[in-house]
Amino acid sequence: MRSLQRMMEETIDYAGLFPPAELDMRPALEHYAKHRTCEHRWMLGRFVVPVKRLSEFDRFTEDLFAKQGSAARDDAWRITALVSPLQEEALDLDLETIEAFNAAYNRKGGTSAVIDAIESKAASGAIIAECLERIPEGFEAWVEIPWDTDPRGAIAALSGYDAGAKVRTGGTAAAAHPTPAQLALFIDSAAAANVPLKATAGLHHPARNRNDKVGCDQFGFLGVFLGACLRFHERLDRAGLEQILEERDPKAFKFDADGAAWNKARVTLREIDEARRQFIKSFGSCSFDEPVEDLRALGLMPVEGAAS
């Protein structure tokens, strides 16, 4: 389905190192390498790794790629590195480690792996205003902002910077999950401030669902992404966002050759492209297979080679 492909292209940043999968480095890298060659590789984004584990990454990729060519090549491994919070002194050392990692690959005659995105944390807008410029230019920068206090000030502090807001949408405990109202406020605030948005954790299935292992309901990635697209184009207000985030029927999300819709709210292909380019970017997930399998079961996956 063309509209589904446009909305979900390069959305899943693979976080297999993190719970609940929590794989060792080698199997996580092998999974990512496999996903990069599968039929649905168009959904795959970056490999997510803590900066403190970059030495492991380097050691275990010796036989996975040749470390040659250009970072701009289509076959380059693009990496998101998780660094210390903006206000901590350790951030400087993390940034030096990243610089050394990229430089080392370049000294090998080019690179087929490059860290081009950085994720940090900040608890308030004051910290963002004071410390965000510590992250050098040239990286896609993301700042995780808490949702359990009013996020609007911190999100607004990102406005005008070349950086986006990251929201944690789940975790391994019920307390790690925002309510639909809290997540709707976060998405609405980012759209109002014209700040790019990404999510992480708990988004394994298309619609809101019950996870008995965690003991709570979890959000669906179609609800988050289509909801963000609709809010970006002002087809939903915050109340509407809360409702789409609560949607439990994956068949309620409609995709066709010209666009996508939920209830009476609709976006065109061009509007999906605009929202993806300017607002809703990606989500981190320790599973790539589960979202793919669910979309396939719904009959939404495009055929490989079909026009997009």
Domain residue limits, the chain:
2-295
If you average pLDDT over residues 277-304, what whole number do you get? 91
Buried b / exposed e across 252-263, counting CB within 10 Å, b at 16+?
bbebeeebbbbe
Q: Are 42 and 295 in contact (CB under 8 A)?
A: no
Topology of the domain comprising 2-295: TIM Barrel (3.20.20)
Q: What are phi and psi of 16, to 5 degrees?
A: -65, -15
Q: Is residue 102 pLDDT above 80, yes or no?
A: yes
Tokens of 308: 């997009």
Q: According to the model, what pLDDT value does residue 230 have?
A: 98
Q: Are 258 and 271 in contact (CB under 8 A)?
A: no
Nearest to 70 by CA among 118, 102, 100, 38: 102
pTM score, whole prediction = 0.93
Q: According to the model, what pLDDT value does residue 66 have?
A: 56
Q: Report strand pairing: 253-255 vs 265-268.
A: unpaired
Q: What is the DSSP string of 208-219?
A: -EEETTTTEEE-
pLDDT, tens digit, 9 for 90 and up, residues 128-152:
999 999 999 999 999 999 999 999 9
Answer with the residue of higher pLDDT: 66 or 182.
182
Q: Report d(CA 236, CA 293) in Å as an integer.
A: 29
73 band by pLDDT with thresholds 50, 70 and 90:
low
DSSP 139: S
Q: Report d(CA 205, CA 296) in Å as an integer.
A: 12
Q: Are 229 and 7 in contact (CB under 8 A)?
A: yes
Q: Report d(CA 188, CA 169) in Å as an integer.
A: 15
Tokens of 134: 């510590």
Q: According to the model, what pLDDT value does residue 272 have?
A: 98
Mean pLDDT of the chain: 93
Q: According to the model, what pLDDT value does residue 111 have?
A: 60
Nearest to 118 by CA among 78, 170, 88, 171: 78
If you average pLDDT over residues 80-87, what whole number do you get? 98
Q: Is residue 43 pLDDT above 50, yes or no?
A: yes
